[in-house]
Amino acid sequence: MRTAVNTKTLTLVQAVNDALRTMLKEREDVILLGEDIGKNGGVFRATEGLQEEFGEDRVIDTPLSEAGFTGAAIGMAINGLRPVVEIQFLGFIYPAYEQIMTHAARMRARTMGHFTVPMVIRAPYGAGVRAPEIHSDSTEALFTHMPGIKVVCPSTPYDAKGLLIAAIEDPDPVLFLEPMRSYRAFREDVPEGKYTVEIGKGKKLREGGDVTVIAWGAMVPVAVKAAESAEKKGIQADVIDLRTLYPLDKDIIADSVQKTGRTVIVQEAHATGGLANDILAVINDTSFLYQKAPVERVTGFDVPVPFFAYEDDYLPTPQRVLHAIEKAVNF
Amino acid sequence: MESQFPIIQIMNEQGCIVRSEYREQITKELVMTMYRHLIRTRMFDRKCISLQRQGRIGTYVPYEGQEACQVGSALALRDGDWMFPTYRDHGAMMTFGRSLTQTLLYWKGRTEGCIPPEGRKIVPPSVPIATQIPHAAGTAYAEKRKGTKNAVIVYFGDGATSEGDFHEGLNFASVFNVPVVFFNQNNQYAISVPITRQMKSKTIAQKAMAYDIPGIRIDGNDIFVVYFETQQALERARNGRGPTLIEAVTWRYGAHTTSDDPSKYRDQEESKRRRETADPIKRMERFMQQEGWWDEKWANQVQEEASVEIEQAVAEMERYPKANPADMFDYVFAQPTWTIAEQKNAYFQWKRGIEG
Ligand SMILES: Cc1ncc(C[n+]2csc(CCOP(=O)(O)OP(=O)(O)O)c2C)c(N)n1
Ligand SMILES: [Mg+2]
């Protein structure tokens, strides 16, 4: 048994940095690629100090070409390296979309396991920081739809480190989405050194018997706030942080919604084609007869993520979630 | 390659004309127009930085140091031409007719900042790198098909030449011989990445060779060479002689954006030194002084006028009606789909409910 593990108090972005440093130390085959990740330490400082410590051939400032460095990372991964690429903002991943969809996600299937792509694609995502145009997308569903790539999205520093290490060790490609809005929102004790959080497992943040609130990434704090407000109105909510978006943690969802019979799903992305619909399918498939009310979805709208002057209207808020909770409970 | 693509000047750092064949075309009137735009463009940029620091606009992208590229190339355009800018090219956009107020609205996170000025074909700035380059090729294709004499200019940085879209756009334009000018502002950095790490090529102009189109390398801080070379490239385009790639070598003095800290990746002395030796505005002033065209009183007046215009635009931006959330629903399709219509209704109903 391990006791008295040393911890450090870190923000989410520092925890990402710590995970990368831990794995660069731990494994010679880990290599980082991306725009401005070396000398500049990343535009969010997620890779701060890593090039200094591990050298220019392991922490690589690439040319400005997402298709180029993501494609190159696929080539590295099939040849024994464990690349971790940084996409500067999720909204700039689209040039690499072809590489991810047709190659990273399919290599194992196409070669019956003879070539594999153990790589991680990190990308800050989401709105709410008054960023310029295109910097605020949350298009996780474009990737959860594609078999062959896992999608992970932590909401806390502890999970960010543990899940990123797990993603780097995973034998398959992982898209690792970092909620930009939570990068420096709060600090938490994070163990030093290596530990993992299992991919595919959600986490229960609050226990309550009346309603289940499901969220991920930047929507987790929104869901928690709404649950706190609901409590003041005498409504007790289970709050689930999914943490992994593909594959979904079917059991944690089913257990909770069978208990409460009422569900609210909070999703930052557009409604149509969003992950909430897949969660709904899990509820339908596992727990149909337990349901006492229609599942409520609180989502971004079916509009391109707007300029920042409108983002407070676009983003789900604790008030909107509370409204949905009350609707589900009072059905 | 550097010897095949030397940096061309018309006016050197001291403000002397080094290519006498341009002497006559450099009229006092042209010079005064250029100077007015240079000053207005620079003062606006500085104002925006201070507005950002005060929280009156959002993250801002400064261009100080690159004014000759933007003003010189935009002045070479004709009314019917098209402009495809990046996020750093509002100097060019304002020179070509976008209002200062609209520019400010854009940086304040308002969609209205993307509406083109009446009668001007200025496409909204492209934020994803290099994506506007194929658009420009296609728009030029359409002009050619319509049989007009209009041309297209598209701006992009040194980093943009690493994206596939740059190569695909140039190839398309070259294959179909369309009227477009690819105007590269080589400010030698893509955020923190210096051009020597971005590419092994010694020049950007040489990339034109691969597409068999003219590639020209110019001093981007010499407004005369920018203006005349752009004009000639546009003329070739109008006359059916196809695209040109112009590499204008320049430097941004400040940060990549107001969120960037350039001291992380480069020596600030370099920018200081360039300000002293290669500044596009100082160079123009030296030229005017040597010409005997410099008039202190007039120069003060130019500044005064720019300052009034800028202050008016800031006041207008701040008086602007509040952002209307209906706008984000209303322009996605010509006819809103039922999903959008329902979501909009539900949202406003809820909003009215909580606002009482
Ligand atoms: C596809 C894409 N990837 C990354 C970014 C983030 N980004 C914004 S500006 C920039 C550097 C661009 O450099 P350059 O083309 O030289 O233009 P400059 O900013 O110097 O004018 C980067 C990487 C982006 N906007 N789009
Ligand atoms: Mg540049």
| Domain shared by B179 and B75, yes or no | yes
Ligand 1 atom closest to the CA of B128, numbered from 1: 26
**B90 a catalytic residue:** no
Q: Residue B302: what pLDDT?
A: 98
Is B184 within a domain? yes
Using a CB-CB cut-off of 8 Å, the residues of chain B touching A127 are: none
Domain that holds residue A208: 203-329
Known catalytic membership, residue B120:
no
My answer on whether B262 and B342 are in the same domain is no
- B146 occurs within a structural domain: yes
> Is residue A2 domain-resident?
no
CATH number at residue A156: 3.40.50.970
CATH no. for residue A315? 3.40.50.920
Hey, what are B240's tokens? 């059916």
Tens of pLDDT, residue by residue, chain B (356 residues): 889 999 999 999 999 999 999 999 999 999 999 999 999 999 999 999 999 999 999 999 999 999 999 999 999 999 999 999 999 999 999 999 999 999 999 999 999 999 999 999 999 999 999 999 999 999 999 999 999 999 999 999 999 999 999 999 999 999 999 999 999 999 999 999 999 999 999 999 999 999 999 999 999 999 999 999 999 999 999 999 999 999 999 999 999 999 999 999 999 999 999 999 999 999 999 999 999 999 999 999 999 999 999 999 999 999 999 999 999 999 999 999 999 999 999 999 999 988 87
Whether A98 contacts chain B with CB within 8 A:
no
What angle (nearest 5°) sits at the alpha carbon of residue B292, between those of residues B290 and B296? 105
Quote the number of domains for chain B. Answer: 2
Q: Are residues B34 and B112 in the same domain?
A: yes
Q: Are residues A256 and A278 in the same domain?
A: yes
Q: Are residues A181 and A271 in the same domain?
A: no
Q: Reply yes or no on whether the pLDDT at A1 is more than 70.
A: no
- Confidence at A2, pLDDT banded by 50, 70, 90: low
Please check whether residue B9 lies inside any domain of the structure. no
Percent of chain A scoring above 90 in pLDDT: 98
Mean pLDDT of A18-46: 98
Residue A95: CB within 6 Å of ligand 1? yes
Cβ-count burial of A273 within 10 angstroms (0-12 exposed, 13-18 middle, 19+ buried)?
middle
Indicate whether B341 and B262 sit together in one domain. no
Residue A187 lies in a domain: yes
Which tokens in the block code for residue A1?
Answer: 């048994």
Do A166 and A187 share a domain, yes or no?
A: yes
Residue nearest to atom 3 of ligand 1 (CA): A92
Binary contact (A39, B265; C-beta < 8 A) = yes
**B41 and B143 part of one domain:** yes
Residue at a domain's end among A159, A191, A223: A191
State which of A127, A159, A191 marks the end of a domain: A191
Indicate whether A109 and A21 sit together in one domain. yes
Do A215 and A157 lie in a common domain?
no
* Rounded Cα–Cα distance for residues B135 and B140 (Å): 8
Which residues are CB-neighbours of B194 under 8 A, at least 6 positions away?
A: B188, B266
B330 Cα–ligand 2 center, Å = 36
**φ and ψ of B175, to 5 deg:** -60, -40
**CA of residue A61 to ligand 1 center, whole Å:** 13
Q: Mark whether A232 and A142 lie in a shared domain.
A: no
**A63 contacts chain B (CB < 8 A):** yes
Of A191, A216, A237, the last residue of a domain is A191
Catalytically annotated residue among A114, A135, A270, A323: A135
Within-domain flag for B6? no
**B255 shares its domain with B338:** no
Residue A78 lies inside a defined structural domain of this protein? yes
Q: Distance between CA atoms of B186 and B198, rounded to whole angstroms?
A: 11
The verdict on A178 and A223 lying in the same domain is no
Which ligand 1 atom minimizes the distance to the CA of B86?
A: 21
Whether B125 and B174 map to the same domain: the answer is: yes
Q: Is residue B14 part of a domain?
A: no
Q: Are B306 and B337 in the same domain?
A: no
In a domain, B71, yes or no: yes
Structural domain that includes position B81:
20-322
For position B354, what pLDDT does the model report?
Answer: 84
Check which CATH number belongs to the domain holding B264 and give it: 3.40.50.970
* pLDDT at residue A3 in the model: 59
Number of A to B CB contacts under 8 A, please give it: 114
Mean pLDDT of chain A: 97
pLDDT at position A60 over 90:
yes
Do B306 and B336 have their domain in common? no
Are residues A169 and A248 located together in one domain of the fold? Answer: no
DSSP letter at A101?
I
How many domains are there within chain A?
A: 2
Please indicate whether residue B256 is annotated as part of the active site: yes
* pLDDT tens sequence across B174-201: 999 999 999 999 999 999 999 999 999 9
Residue A48: helix, strand or coil by DSSP? Answer: coil
Is B302 in the same domain as B335?
no
Question: pLDDT digit string (tens) for B100-152?
Answer: 999 999 999 999 999 999 999 999 999 999 999 999 999 999 999 999 999 99
Which residue would you say has higher pLDDT here, A4 or A207? A207
How crowded is residue B298: how many other Cβ atoms within 10 Å of its Cβ?
14
**Looking at B90, B110, B217, B256, which residue is catalytic?**
B256
